[in-house]
Amino acid sequence: MNMSVMPSLDIKALREQFPVLSREVDGKPLVYLDNAATTQKPQCVIDSLVDYYSTCNSNVHRGAHKLADEATQRYEGARDIVAGFINAAAREEVIWTSGTTESINMVANGLAQMLKAGDEVVVTEMEHHANLVPWQQACKRSGATLKIAPIFDDGSLDLEAFKSLLNSNTRLVAFPHVSNSLGTVNPVAELTALAKQAGALVLVDGAQGVAHGNVDVQALGCDFYAFSGHKIFGPTGIGVLWGRQELLAEWPVWITGGEMIATVTYQDAIWNQLPYRLEAGTPHIAGAIGLGEAVRWFSQLDMVAVAAHEQALLQKATELAASIEGLKLIGTAKHKVGVLSFVMAGGHPADIGFLLDRQGIAIRTGHHCAEPLMNRLGVPGTARASFSIYNTLEEVDVLFEGLRKVQMMLA
């Protein structure tokens, strides 16, 4: 796909906004293909962090001085930006967390207090550990049962099997919007509707889905949606738990302390209103401001053009993969985003990653925090190239030129 096909997405100009993309690794231009692990940051996001610390570094809320007022305005303004981006019904539905993992644990901790023996929680075989282990532990503490919806060998969810697991005992269903290991895009609205028919709550792990745009939590129909800032061009250590206001207003608090209280005596405490009742302590103020700036920047892009570009990268990579003998793709679902997981005959994923790195090509190797999934697929792990909006078709060529060299080195 050339630039004339997508006049609304100038990749060259876009890349120039990311300082790290101009660096070299071992004398080679950096080809960064580890975006499912973390995305790079545009200069405007970096500037927003520096500007906060340089001009109005202060704690938020209750401050009786100018710096505190400015910090609070930026911090709460970022909440408004995120709420608009995901089409939350109210800004109070956006809870700042440290990331997807904390967001899911916040829900799982509360659910564990409600579950009892005989209740069931349903997840899928494609889960990241962060959307598996919290439910395991919640079920262990409560005596509830964890059920696993199977996938097909291509990495897509078995919808009929998923349906068969839902019943009147199902209390919550959790699944990824997009699989971090396979790139599979799940039919979130359809899965949510099925779970709702059974009377279950629904949590969507949106860590990999949010950076592909057009996340509308009201249209999806779920009860909770969790994501991390660093997956969408923002800082690390900041994330979001979106939840329906009526649920969050009554959800058991997890961490207690300052900020999340309305009144405290030596004997008891009364929790604050949303969103603060679920945000204990001094927050990651700069992180929230940076995430707000990242979302603002990303929202200005043409999402149709973004999706078309990412699909062009994936299509070319998939076609080139077929030209390398002994390379097997892991995850070939019909609906997927720019994640290319693979194994290669004669080469351990770790060796492939090391040899590509010496050529300036950054990928991820291992089980990608999805060890049960790797066991299900019969592989110890994979090499994973994951694409983002700033990657180019030329970089896809460089990846496969690098893989051919790796194959010769390992022969």
Please give the C-alpha separations between residue 236 and each of 41, 289, 300, in angstroms, as whole numbers.
10, 12, 22
| Alpha-carbon dihedral angle through residues 132, 223, 156, 118, given to the nearest 10 degrees | 50
What residues contact 378, with CB distance under 8 A and at least 6 apart?
Answer: none
56 carries an active-site annotation: no
Segment (H or E) for 211: none
CA dihedral 319, 325, 326, 331 (to 10 degrees): 10
Instruction: Kindly state the tokens that stand for 43.
Output: 């200069």
From CA 239, how far away is CA 61, in angstroms rounded?
20
Q: Hey, which bits of 62-193 come out as E strands? A: 94-97, 120-124, 145-149, 170-176
CA-to-CA dists, residue 265 to 268, 269, 271, 380, angstroms:
5, 6, 12, 54
Q: Which of 44, 139, 222, 369 is catalytic?
A: 369
Phi-psi region of 264 (alpha: psi -120 to 50; beta: other; left: phi over 0): beta
| 154 and 129 Cβ atoms separated by less than 8 Å | no
Are the beta carbons of 307 and 388 closer than 8 angstroms?
Answer: no
Q: Which residues are catalytic?
A: 369
